[in-house]
Amino acid sequence: MKKKNGPRPLLLKILPFLIIAAAIVFLHQTVSIGEQSDTVSGEGAEEVTVDSISSLASNIGDQLEATATPTPTPTPTPTPTPTPEPVDEALLLRQTLDDISTHDMAGYLSEMPAEDSDIVSTATEIYTYEQMAKDIYFLSQRYPGLFFTNILGTTVDGRAIYEVIIGNPASTHHVLIQYSIHAREYINTLLAMCQLEDYLKNMTAGALYGEKAYPDLFSDICIHMIPCSNPDGMTISQLGAEGLRTQEAKDTLQACYEFDVASGRAGDFDTYCRRFKANANGVDLNKNFDVGWDIYAGGPTQPSYEGYHGTAAASEPETQAILSVTETYPVIVVISYHSEGDIIFWNYELEDEQLLAFNQQLADNLAMITGYTKRISKKYNASLSGGCSDYYVWEEGRIALTIETGQDTCPIRINVFPNIWRDNQYVLPMLASLYG
């Protein structure tokens, strides 16, 4: 017989009500504490709701994003390959050989002539490359700001090829005059330096040429002078093999001599050096320009004291130096100073009538100033090509001609120089008057 379930104990029956009551009491106390807290913190505190908390969190997040500095993800930076500084091999060569162009020229100021004396001296038999470099510096000290200098290139024996710029470089009228491209004709380097000093003295004094003062005369022309286009060759002609600094240049000179002796073109070595025309590579620079160069058959086929046209047109640093001026500036006239004969070579059998007329105009004015005889130069051919003036008139259409100074045998003696100076003293102002 089953036993019936009896009534549940009273506690079990009322337990749920007790729990609910306790919860109500707890909640009441919590609210009371919150109200007390509100009273302490201030009347009218805003009600904290789920929405307000979310809003606050959002605002704080925004502020953090705005103010916090994010930690970047490191990105590996490749190590760059250093770019080596370009090496100026020409300058390095001059430095290695202790060329005067790399010296502190102020160290020579004690040699500078007194204020009442000319800087360029005509008292010595030979006017060397080193003296030219010193005189360019001395003139820059005595006449600051009246001319500019530049180094156009470096020879194989480590000498600088100087450019002197007078007049107004901003002008559209530029003239190039190169001197002593043939080694034994170095008297023209002295002429260039005397012309430069005379120009500077007249500029300072405000001297007149015709009706114009020098500053006005040269205000719209720029003249580029290369006082010595062949420093190595000039040194050979003046000082012989002892003047050369590299063994390569000495060996080339010896090879030239042996070849020319074998060809019946040379006698004793000292005379051979004095009569030298080429550069230190044995190249005749006035046969190295790109005008008929490839058809030339008028001279030796290897290095020599004269006549060899080189391994290629414009192969030589001296030729390149001359060309660099006309590649850089709007040169309208090119004049080449040679020796000997007191002659002006012009014409070149030009077919362009306008260019021929311009060429004649320059030749006529130079003949009037110098008293030299004009002589027609034929067009280049297989036996006569590669010349500087020929190149400029035929290949580039510029006005160009050649002046041959001095009634003497090259190298021209210093006692002939007064006549050369008398004849050529006013060439620069004449050019300024004609083209400025």
DSSP, residue by residue, 308-357: ---SSTT-SHHHHHHHHHHHHS-EEEEEEEE-SSSEEEEETT-S-HHHHH
| Inside any domain, residue 107 | no
HEC states along 87-131?
A: CCHHHHHHHHCCCHHHCCHHHHHHHCCCCCCCCCCCCCCCCCHHH
Instruction: Dig out the tokens for 94 from the structure.
Output: 């001059």
In the predicted structure, residue 27 carries a pLDDT above the cut 60: no
Position 3 scores a pLDDT of 39
Q: Taking the complete model, does pTM exceed 0.85, yes or no? A: no
C-alpha dist (Å) from residue 13 to 21, 25, 62, 134: 14, 20, 55, 128
Spatial strand order in the sheet of 399-404:
148-154, 160-167, 222-226, 174-179, 331-338, 399-404, 343-347, 373-377
Give me the domain span that covers residue 349. 117-239+272-435
Cα(59)–Cα(63) distance, rounded to whole angstroms? 6
Whether the bond between 411 and the residue before it is cis, its omega within 30 degrees of 0, is yes
What is the four-CA torsion angle of 272, 276, 279, 284, rounded to 10 degrees?
Answer: -120
Position 48 scores a pLDDT of 41
Q: Do the strands 399-404 and 331-338 form a parallel or antiparallel pair, or are they unpaired? A: parallel
Cα(5)–Cα(412) distance, rounded to whole angstroms? 154
How does residue 141 score in pLDDT terms, banded at 50, 70 and 90?
very high
Question: pLDDT digits over 83-128, tens only?
Answer: 777 889 999 999 999 999 999 999 999 999 999 999 999 999 999 9
**Pairwise pLDDT comparison (53 vs 81), residue with the higher score:** 81
Task: Residue 140: count other Cβ atoms within 10 Å of its Cβ.
Answer: 17
Helices 129-142 + 187-205 axis angle, to 10: 0
| Inside any domain, residue 39 | no
Q: What angle do CA 419, 420, 426 make, to 5 degrees?
A: 110
Cα(201)–Cα(209) distance, rounded to whole angstroms? 13
In the predicted structure, residue 333 carries a pLDDT above the cut 70: yes
How does residue 2 score in pLDDT terms, banded at 50, 70 and 90?
very low
- 84-88, 158-162, 320-324, 369-373: least confidently modelled range: 84-88
How does residue 397 score in pLDDT terms, banded at 50, 70 and 90?
very high
**Pairwise pLDDT comparison (223 vs 69), residue with the higher score:** 223
**Pairwise pLDDT comparison (82 vs 170), residue with the higher score:** 170
| Inside any domain, residue 154 | yes
| Inside any domain, residue 71 | no
Taken as a whole, the chain contains a residue count of 436
Helices (H) and strands (E) in the chain, counts: 14, 10
What is the four-CA torsion angle of 275, 280, 284, 288, rounded to 10 degrees?
Answer: -170
Q: Can you tell me the mean pLDDT for 246-271?
A: 98
| Inside any domain, residue 380 | yes
**Pairwise pLDDT comparison (285 vs 56), residue with the higher score:** 285
The rounded percent of the chain whose pLDDT value lies above 70 is 82
Query: CATH no. for residue 321?
Result: 3.40.630.10
Position 72 scores a pLDDT of 53
| Inside any domain, residue 65 | no
| Inside any domain, residue 318 | yes
| Inside any domain, residue 20 | no
How does residue 74 score in pLDDT terms, banded at 50, 70 and 90?
low
Which residue type is seen at 235? Answer: T
In the predicted structure, residue 42 carries a pLDDT above the cut 80: no
Q: Which of 238, 227, 147 is nearest to 189 (CA)?
A: 227
- Total domain count, the chain: 1
